């Protein structure tokens, strides 16, 4: 008796299931997987024969921690420590009187002006010196002391920026910039010392801007990644100084 295409397909699928051991089917992603012909298609029906198994190439996932031979980690050739330095009461200042509305703190920045270049604003800080600094936080305290004659408290890691960098000796890799939010405890500009004072490259001007989105947008803070981070996290950065942080 003549059969429809659907009936012929069902008959051939039944024959196929008898020839293939279902236990051999695996959901694991091996190099070659036997795929059951489960979806009806007249075109597929013409191509498939009972007992014939269609092969599909599948690329297996790499085990966790294993990278492609084409990928490689970039060496860290420089690290810096910089302060998101806040001055003023703010919502979490323990010196603020109870019941007095909190005013936005101010962010202390250094305006840098070099010959033939537009001015830009940076946070206080500088490079970690392995022969001098035991830790990155030690480098932060040393740098703010040199650049501002300042002491800081409540140092909390806030942000990391990683950028390509080539050292003076020609070693290529990345520079990791560690940004810490902290409070200004004291500052005496007459105590400034170090290379920026002894051999300045351009002009250094110390400014305070309101730690608000408008204040951040009013100056050209670099790196751009920090400017973006601060704009998105004004409240969160101040919350890092909350007394219940631990």
Per run of 10 residues, the mean pLDDT along the chain (length 246 residues) is: 65 60 43 41 50 52 53 90 91 58 88 91 96 97 96 96 95 97 96 83 92 96 96 96 86
Within 10 A of 83 (CB to CB), how many other CB atoms are there?
Answer: 26
Residue appearing with tokens 């973006």: 228
pLDDT of residue 17: 56
pLDDT of residue 32: 36
pLDDT of residue 146: 95
pLDDT of residue 144: 97
pLDDT of residue 199: 77
pLDDT of residue 185: 96
State the sign of the Cα–Cα–Cα–Cα dihedral 161, 165, 169, 172.
positive
pLDDT of residue 16: 54
* Alpha-carbon span 176 to 164, nearest angstrom: 9
Q: Where are the domains of the chain?
A: 5-57, 76-94+102-245
pLDDT of residue 38: 42
State the sign of the Cα–Cα–Cα–Cα dihedral 115, 118, 119, 122.
negative
CATH code for residues 76-94+102-245? 3.90.79.10
């Amino acid at each position: 008796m003549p059969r429809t295409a659907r009936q012929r397909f069902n008959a051939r699928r039944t024959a196929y299931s008898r020839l293939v051991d279902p236990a051999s089917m695996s959901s694991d992603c091996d190099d070659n997987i036997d795929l059951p012909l489960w979806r009806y298609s007249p075109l597929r029906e013409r191509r498939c024969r009972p007992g014939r198994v269609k092969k599909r190439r599948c690329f297996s996932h790499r085990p966790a921690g294993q990278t492609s031979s084409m990928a490689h980690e970039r060496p860290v050739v420089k690290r810096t420590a910089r302060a998101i330095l806040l001055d003023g009461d703010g919502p979490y200042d323990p010196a603020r009187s109870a019941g007095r509305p909190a005013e936005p703190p101010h962010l202390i920045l250094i305006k840098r002006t070099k010959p033939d270049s537009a001015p830009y604003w940076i946070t206080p800080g500088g490079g970690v010196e392995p022969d001098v600094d035991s830790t990155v936080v030690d480098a932060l305290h040393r740098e703010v002391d040199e650049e501002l004659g300042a002491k800081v408290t409540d140092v909390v890691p806030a942000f990391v920026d990683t950028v390509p960098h080539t050292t003076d000796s020609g070693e290529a890799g990345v520079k990791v910039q560690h940004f810490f939010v902290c409070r200004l405890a004291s500052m005496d500009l007459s105590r400034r010392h170090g290379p920026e004072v002894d051999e300045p490259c351009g002009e250094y001007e110390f400014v305070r801007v309101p730690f608000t989105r408008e204040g951040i947008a009013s100056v050209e803070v670099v790196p751009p990644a920090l400017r973006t981070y601060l704009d998105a996290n004004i409240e969160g950065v101040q919350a890092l100084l909350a007394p219940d942080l631990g």
